[in-house]
Structure 1
Amino acid sequence: MARHLVLQLASPLIAFGGEAIDNLGVIRDFPALSMVTGLIANALGWDRGQGACHNRLQERLRMGCVLQPGARRIQDFQTAQLGKDDRAWTTWGTPEARAGGAGTYAGPHLRYRDYHADLRAWVVLRLEPAEQAPTLDEIAAALDRPARPLFIGRKPCLPSGRLVAGWVEAADIHGALRAAMVLQASVQPDQDWRAQWPDGEGSQAGDRLLDVCDERNWISGVHGGWRPVREAPLRAVEHNA
């Protein structure tokens, strides 16, 4: 049995970002491995220049997620007329300005951004090797007292509560997700919660084996490669029996 950290990702708006196309900011159903890596790194106070540290943390992460039913998707149309001297806030301490020449200020900045509305997701984490820094205990402490403001996917998506939701013991990520569901008072009998976990971290009848591209090379800043995962509904009655 291994110790797993349970996180609650909850906010009025959440963005599990996918592959952006031009001015279209799409989302995926489950949080990317790179997103959780970045969330933890931000809490620890790492900067973007520490690419090797980010890559190593991402390599060590074993992560699964289960989604509470009831969320919906919305699309936000965003427009802003930016002047030459306008600046935007960023998490890395340097104001962001609009790129390009003088002609880029002639028209408004337009974009579409998808969001999950009223989503509550439960993420379970394990690190391999467990004893290497940062440890799960250090990560939990940093998430409770982050070095910088935290957000879930995009800067407007501020957590509505504490991220650390507890600890569970399980042989694998699939088992940890089942154990994490037991902790939730909102679980209803015979209700299916969608779940995703890494291939090789447990299985169940009827699960689907998929490939996802959600790892980032933190030195080059480019996403690439494929990671096999399994998806299936988890039913509350199975865990309370």
Structure 2
Amino acid sequence: MSSKRRNKKKKNSVLSAVVVIILAAVYLVWGKEDAEPTRSGLIPVELIKTIDGDTIKIKYEGKEQNVRYLLIDTPETSHPRLGKQPFGEKAKERNQELLNSGKLEIEFDIGEKYDKYNRLLAYIYIDGESVQEKLLEEGLARVAYVYPPNTRHLDAYEKAQERAKKAGIGIWTLEDYATDRGFDSDTYSITDKNTETNSKADAEESFKNCTELRKKYPNGVKKGHPAYSERMDGDKDGYACE
């Protein structure tokens, strides 16, 4: 065999080996059907302060800025008009607990980046896990303020909310408390502004008997209502003083 033919054969062998290596690398990166895509678009930030259940202050682009969580709403803790609402403190405490448990990152959607109060609008993550979804799943938030095109995670959030509803936990223990308009502060209010709240006892109302209760609720109240008491549910049907 001539040297020219041997060299050509050697080059073909090297080329074939290179092609095999490249194909193997491509398979490892894209070929596995169960490979999880890498999440992109998350921006590491520094937490400055937890304001309430759906608002925080962070350091972003060298300055401190407030961030309003996209697509969710939690009860108020110190609203100038609404005051303190049931589960407001619980939502704030849980939000702070989550934020202090790992690496904080934010994600923007494709729509407006700021609201009318000049707050950043973002999705919040701790170690890659959605804080919004967690609050919804634990019954401490409702899906709200849905303004397209900022709806990237709406489906997942609605599913998390539905799980909490079915479980009857958090805000969903209070009948008709969470509405499309917000949280019903007229029916479920906290009169003692100095009382820290963290459960449905936040909105507890106490009546001596059914006569007193019916003065405020003529048709009685269902189990889950803050005025409900088992001692006034004589037939144990889940409805007091009907």
TM-score under structure 1 length normalisation: 0.24
More helix by share: 2
Q: Which has the larger radius of gyration?
A: 2
Higher relative contact order (CA 8 A, sep 6+): 1
Bigger share in strand:
1
TM-score by length of 2: 0.24
